[in-house]
With several copies, the nearest count.
Chain A
Amino acid sequence: MIDKTSQSLQQAISHIKDGDTVMIGGFGNAGQPSQLIDALIEHGAKNLTIISNNAGNGYHGLAALLKAGQVDKMICSFPRQSDSYVFDELYLAGKIELELVPQGNLACRIQAAGSGLGAIFTPTGYGTLLAEDKETREIDGKNYVLEYPLKANVALIKAYKGDRWGNLVYRKTGRNFGPIMAMAADLTIAQVNETVLLGDLDPEHIITPGIFVQHVVEV
């Protein structure tokens, strides 16, 4: 019997190695896998590259991970926020590398990785600083920038319910990056509010099929 549910956050997170690229779901607090991030801090893996929409708020969650010195590079769309104190300080001190990616390109590059595409011509960013030195092409009278897939060793996401096959459903705008990050990582760990029995999730309503998920941890 395959059972992807796990009682232990630490055990699930133990697969992360120094130098890994880790995707972290969430947009603001919605869909942020806070307990998994805390477990990653406890785990202590270093020299990480983090792919996430933001770069942490206040001193908890992703900000705490940065503060702990575990992150070499952020790939994100919106690092600077009113309370991104930790990132701001590290960035201004030159202690963290930043790859700034327009939000739609971020989503699309993650989806491209999960879908096995080699690269995509995207309309966003053409003619801007964020497309500097990138290949461009005019197709049907419109200009596009060539962007490459964003993959990860591990994705940490938050879902609402999950079952032992790894099927997931989300809650409201907490869905955000979860479904596409799950596709783009070698190993996806989902923290869920509730683990349910196999068959309790309607097959028509499952948002992330279990094939994209390796561990489900109820928190």
Chain B
Amino acid sequence: MSFTARSQEEMAKAIAKDIPEGWYVNLGIGQPTQIANFLPTDKDFFLHSENGLLGMGPAPIEIEEDEDLINAGKQYVTLLRGGSYFHHADSFAMMRGGHIDLCVLGAYQVAENGDLANWSTGKKGAIPAVGGAMDLAVGAKKVYVMMTHQTRKGDPKIVKNLTFPVTGLKCIDRIYTEYATIDVTPDGLKVIDMVEGMTIDDLQAMTEAPIKLG
């Protein structure tokens, strides 16, 4: 039987569906940002952006773009009624103090014990930049990863041990890829969802770390 990868949009939808109403959520720069588009608008979700706002709303129409109202990805955003502004120390206190329920991040690699690599490819001579990546990895109550299952070259990204520089140790709770949703547990990686037609053997073939059905 054959299987088809889910689209980025479908991944975003799947993650959005897993977020309970009332959670405080930080969506990392890049792919995770899309998740916001699929949160039901008749319920209250609290989006945090680490540059200093809570209750982030969708992008404004062009004429209402405001240089002073941006998200951590430096995109124009809006603020919902009930939202608030605060300075960077308070904003990272929300993150590092364990007040954010969920953070969804992109990743280069996730190890079977939940170690995360997403800030540096470790290439010699590259110019480093870290931003809030390491804070987001260690601070939230739950940290999910949204990423492609393999690299463009076909190398596995869910690995036994990181080969890229560490962002945070044992910090990832769940991984969403175009093929599957996988929980990181004390007993190893457990597949809780796969695209239709895929078998655990199909998935294991693309995954360096051992996985089992959860």
Contact = CB atoms under 8 A, between A and B. Distances in A.
Interface of A: 1-2, 27-31, 77-81, 84, 87-88, 91-92, 98, 100-108, 110-111, 113-117, 122-130, 143, 163-165, 167, 170-180, 183, 198-199, 201, 203-204, 206-207, 209-212
A198 B91 CA distance: 21
B55 A165 contact: yes
Given A28-B70, A110-B89, 20 more contacts: A2-B44, A103-B50, A105-B134, A107-B92, A123-B139, A124-B139, A125-B134, A126-B138, A128-B167, A130-B130, A165-B44, A165-B46, A172-B68, A173-B69, A179-B89, A180-B88, A180-B89, A199-B82, A201-B84, A206-B84
A30 B125 contact: no
B97 A27 contact: no
B168 interface: yes
Contacts of A77: 129-132
B87 interface: yes
Interface residues of B, number: 61
Contacts of A126: 138, 168-169
A130 B48 CA distance: 25
B135 to A, nearest CB: 3
A161 B162 CA distance: 48
A209 B46 CA distance: 11
A211 B130 contact: no
A208 to B, nearest CB: 9
Interface string B138-178: 11000000000000000000000000011111000000000
B84 A209 contact: yes
B47 to A, nearest CB: 11
